[in-house]
Amino acid sequence: MALFGQTFITGILIGGIYAIIAIGMTLIMGVMKIINLAHGALMMVGMYVCVVLFASLGLHPYLSMIPAMIILFGIGYALQKYSIDRVFRIETILPESQVLLTLALGLGITEIIRLIFTSDYQCTYTPFSAKCFYAGGMSISQPYLVGFIIAMAFVAGLHIFLSRTDLGHSVMATAQDRDAATYMGVNAGRITNFTFGLGTALAAAGGAILLPIYYVFPDVWHPYLAKAFIITILGGMGSTVGALSGGLLLGVAESFGATYWSPGYRDVVGLIIFLLVLLFLPGGLKKVIGR
Amino acid sequence: MKGIKLALILGLAVVLVAAFALPGCGAPEVVTPAPGEEEAPPAPAGPIKIGINFSLTGPKAKFGSMDRNSIEIAYAKFGVEEIGGRPIRFVIEDNRGDPATAKSAEEKLATLDKVDLTIGGYSSACGVTQAAAANDLGVPHILVNSSKDAITEAGYEWAFSGPRVPATHYADAMWSFVDEVLIPGGVSKVALYYEMTDWGTSSAEGLRAGFEERGIELVYDTPYDSLATDFKPMLSTVKALNPDMIMAVSYLMDAGLLARQAAELRVNVMAYMGQAGGYTMPEFLELAGENVNYTFTTANWSPLAAWKGEIAGVKWTNKEYYDAYVESYKAEPDYHGAQGYAAWQIALDALLRIDAAGNDINRENIKEALEETKLMTAMGLIEHHNWTDEMGHSYTNQGLPLTYVMQWQNEVQEVVWPLAGKSADYVFPVPKYEER
């Protein structure tokens, strides 16, 4: 029973962190209808901002998360406005090319970071990184728990923002029908830039939450980009609740797969879910949840 | 208009393909490892070109950089800048730890740069493609770290194991420790986990056979993905199985995470044994903090080993290499670095022997000289020969450096086995996490 409980808790906690990384991608995908393959690389940049602030000012990643989010919001906004949008506006360019552009941006960002920081692993290990609660033969890692709570707070905040504020309504309207939103007076271009910046800032938050329990190096983002993509498909594009549910489901499924099948196949579990959702639930959990 | 679209898509595709495929094949970086010195006038026969094929960027850059740094230290130590009037030139390629890039880099070194000898390092997956390409193209190749057994089992005449230990022999010293200390101390159930790469699976093969031969029950025997963030599901399963010992084959990042998370879950065992790799790296301490303590690890080298010798009239000791590395790079080397140092010792010895015999330095003669290598190096005595082990592996041009068992004590690695070379007494059984 302790093994089952430990597996479930571990899955939920890591799933919450997956969700915060994926929610930015699902937001961007919902509004722009393109896959942002630079999302993982931008998360990695956020992690490096935190590492620099940790090394220079001794700021814990939970604190440096705020400046990292602000910086990454600016980077995301600028990338969208001066790069992706320019390609987006040319009707003769296929959407596939826009996706390739985001991939090229991701690779370019990675190599720039490699030039600056080299490929060395960087970490922000503190005694807190190994703190745990123990109960009923199970352990709950404090950095995982705090990361999960922060992630949930961001998801809740984003949900309230999107459902209760005018700006949030504009984002949702642009996501639902860009042309109709424009006719209703929404500046769809500016909203798209804002959404890309917001999604990127959330990716930075996810990276900052990961730092106390993981490491950063320029290629760290590859598996997280894949997970964010799976969660976006699983949860449904543009849905915060869907992304949260998808993140938790993926985390728990991977955890149970690693415990009861094989740790070598934990990613296979995610891919199987991905395929099943595509085949039997093309709209993702959003269709089931209705949000 | 369709033509423009097609051209745009094709253009982007070409850029992407180039971004993935070409970094290892760019303009060669031809350097002498002693910057600042004036180049000697070109000798009539041209320079002796040494191709270096290492992972200098990417996730495995730590290992490749340590290899290269150690070769530079060896080059500076022995001070041989030319042989037979021909200057030595290094052509350095970065394979990014990618097997396909490692192969293309090897081919480029052999065909475009026309090097006389190549030296290739981390990882096993890269070593497989490098050795195969070198053998196909007829260029002598010294393996530095790539330890998958199959590389020297393939019968490649042009690939030389140099200072590398085959993966299934990493634990040679450990077995006497198991027989004389762990089994009498009560170890009868072992959990084995290993990362899913050539090195991990090749290592597990030898470990599995060794435990089974001793009648030790393997209660867990599973590969894992070394890029995972969270190993707790695996460690929870291991904890539930209550083994006496954990045997782990890990790279650096996963070794650090496993040590941390095993402590968090209080996976108490009598001994946690890592198979070299990440467990011997100085960065293991940085990544896992105090959780490194009491971890045993097999090791292929120790700065405390009393190896010494003379090459090109220059006397050297193993400890001098360690000190030079720390002084130059403000970091400690581990066995990967010592293997790089030894690789240049082996290469230089072969080149000097060819010159001393009055022969031309070319690929054929280098191959013949390497076949006759019998040299004391930073990894101990290296002798290239063909042999078969008790597990049935038949190796070509393979030496067998000594191995050790080390234990992290007070955040420092100590040699604890063999007893003759120990720097500290082993601690076994190790204290429970909650009692540390």
pLDDT by residue for chain B (436 residues), tens only, comes to 444 454 444 444 444 444 444 333 444 444 444 444 445 444 457 999 999 999 987 777 888 999 999 999 999 999 999 999 999 999 999 998 889 999 999 999 999 999 999 999 788 899 999 999 999 999 999 999 888 889 999 999 999 998 998 988 888 889 999 999 999 999 999 999 999 888 889 889 989 999 999 999 999 999 998 878 789 889 999 999 999 999 999 988 899 999 999 998 999 999 999 987 889 888 888 888 889 999 999 988 888 888 899 999 999 999 999 999 999 998 889 889 999 999 999 999 999 999 999 999 999 999 999 999 999 999 999 999 999 988 889 999 998 888 889 999 999 989 898 887 788 999 999 999 988 8
CA B86, CA A283: separation in Å to the nearest integer? Answer: 69
> What is the SS3 assignment for chain B?
CHHHHHHHHHHHHHHHHHHHHCHHHCCCEEECCCCCCCCCCCCCCCCEEEEEEECCCCCCHHHHHHHHHHHHHHHHHHCCCEECCEEEEEEEEECCCCHHHHHHHHHHHHHCCCCCEEEECCCHHHHHHHHHHHHHHCCCEEECCCCCHHHHHCCCCCEECCCCCCHHHCCHHHHHHHHHHHCCCCCCEEEEEEECCHHHHHHHHHHHHHHHHCCCEEEEEEEECCCCCCCHHHHHHHHHHCCCEEEEECCHHHHHHHHHHHHHCCCCCCEEEEECHHHHCHHHHHHHHHHHCCCEEEECCCCCCCCEEEECCEEEEHHHHHHHHHHHHCCCCCHHHHHHHHHHHHHHHHHHHHHHCCCCCCHHHHHHHHHCCEEEECCEEEECEEEECCCCCEEEEECCCCCEEEEEECCEEEEEECHHHCCCCCCCCCCCHHHC
Q: What is the structure's pLDDT at B8?
A: 47
Q: Looking at the domain assignment, is residue B144 inside a domain? A: yes
Do B65 and B202 lie in a common domain?
A: no
Parallel, antiparallel or unpaired: strands B394-398 and B385-388: antiparallel
Contact B170, B199 (CB under 8 A): no
> What are the CB-based long-range contacts (under 8 Å, 24+) for A165-171?
A167/A194, A171/A27, A171/A31, A171/A195, A171/A198
Does B181 lie in the same domain as B288? yes
* Residue B429, domain member (yes or no): yes
B273 lies in the same domain as B178? yes
**Co-location of B175 and B287 in the same domain:** yes
Q: How far apart are the first and last CA of chain A?
A: 34
Q: Which residue has the higher pLDDT, A290 or B211?
A: B211
Is position B379 within any domain?
yes
Determine, for residues B265 and A119 on separate chains, whether the beta-carbon distance falls below 8 Å.
no
Q: Do B224 and A263 touch (CB under 8 A)?
A: yes
Report which residue type is found at A282: P
Asked if residue B75 and residue B137 are part of one domain, the reply reads yes
Any B CB within 8 A of A122 CB: no
Assigned domain for B31 exists:
no
Pick from A103, A125, A134: which is nearest to B287 by CB? A125
Q: What is the pLDDT of residue A225?
A: 92
Q: Does residue B412 sit in the same domain as residue B287?
A: yes
Q: Do A94 and B196 touch (CB under 8 A)?
A: no
Question: What b-and-e string marks burial along B379-405, b requiring 16 or more CB atoms within 10 Å of the CB?
Answer: bbebebeeeebeeebebbbbbbbbbbb
Instruction: With beta carbons less than 8 A apart as the criterion, state whether B109 and B50 touch.
Output: no
Evaluate whether residue B126 is within a structural domain.
yes
Looking at the structure, tell me whether residues B201 and B54 fall in a common domain: no
pLDDT digits (tens, 9 = 90+) for A184-226: 888 888 998 999 999 999 999 999 999 988 888 888 899 899 9
pLDDT tens by residue, B368-390: 999 999 999 999 999 999 999 88
CA of residue B363 relative to chain centroid, distance: 24
How does pLDDT run across B236-261, given as a tens digit for each residue? 999 999 999 999 999 888 999 999 99
pTM: 0.74
Q: How near does any CA of chain A get to the CA of B282, in Å?
A: 12
The answer to whether A210 contacts B62, with C-beta atoms less than 8 Å apart, is no
pLDDT in tens, A11-38: 999 999 999 999 988 888 887 777 889 9
| pLDDT for position B88 | 97
The residues near B113 (Cβ < 8 Å, ≥ 6 apart) are B28, B49, B51, B91
Q: Do A215 and B253 touch (CB under 8 A)?
A: yes
> Predicted confidence band at A289 (pLDDT cuts at 50, 70, 90)?
low
Q: Is residue B352 part of a domain?
A: yes
A93: contact with B, CB 8 A cutoff: yes
Task: With respect to residue B6, please indicate whether it lies within any of the assigned structural domains.
Answer: no
pLDDT for residue A287: 67
The domain tally of chain B equals 2
Closest chain A residue by Cα to residue B196: A264
| CATH code, A10 | 1.10.3470
Lowest mean pLDDT among A19-28, A46-55, A82-91, B216-225: A82-91
Domain count for chain A = 1
Over residues A66-75, the mean pLDDT reads 96
Shared domain check, B353 and B204: no
Asked whether residue A91 carries a pLDDT value surpassing 80, the answer given is: no
For residues B177 and B223, state if they share a domain: yes
Q: List Cβ neighbours of B265 (8 Å cut-off, separation of 6 or more).
A: A6, A139, B232, B235, B236, B239
Residue B49: strand pairing partners: B89
* Residues A37, A25: Cα–Cα separation, whole Å: 9
Residue of B214, B151, B162, B131 whose CA lies nearest to B393: B151
Q: Which residue out of B234, B236, B283, B292 would a mutagenesis test of the A interface target, given it has the greatest number of A Cβ atoms within 10 Å?
A: B236
Chain A positions touching B5 (Cβ under 8 A) are: 92-94
The pLDDT tens digits of the residues spanning A113-156 come to 988 987 777 888 777 777 888 887 788 888 889 999 999 999 89
Please indicate, yes or no, whether residues B291 and B430 belong to a single structural domain of this protein: yes
Domain hosting A43: range is 2-289
Whether B256 maps to a domain, the answer reads yes
CATH of the domain at B419: 3.40.50.2300
Full domain range(s) for residue B326: 45-165+304-398
C-alpha to C-alpha distance for B81 and B39, rounded to whole angstroms: 10
Partners of A119 on chain B (C-beta within 8 Å) are: 57-59, 61-62
The reply to whether residue A263 touches residue B228, judged by beta carbons under 8 angstroms, is yes
- Region for B289 from its dihedrals, namely left if φ exceeds 0, alpha if ψ lies in -120 to 50, beta otherwise: left
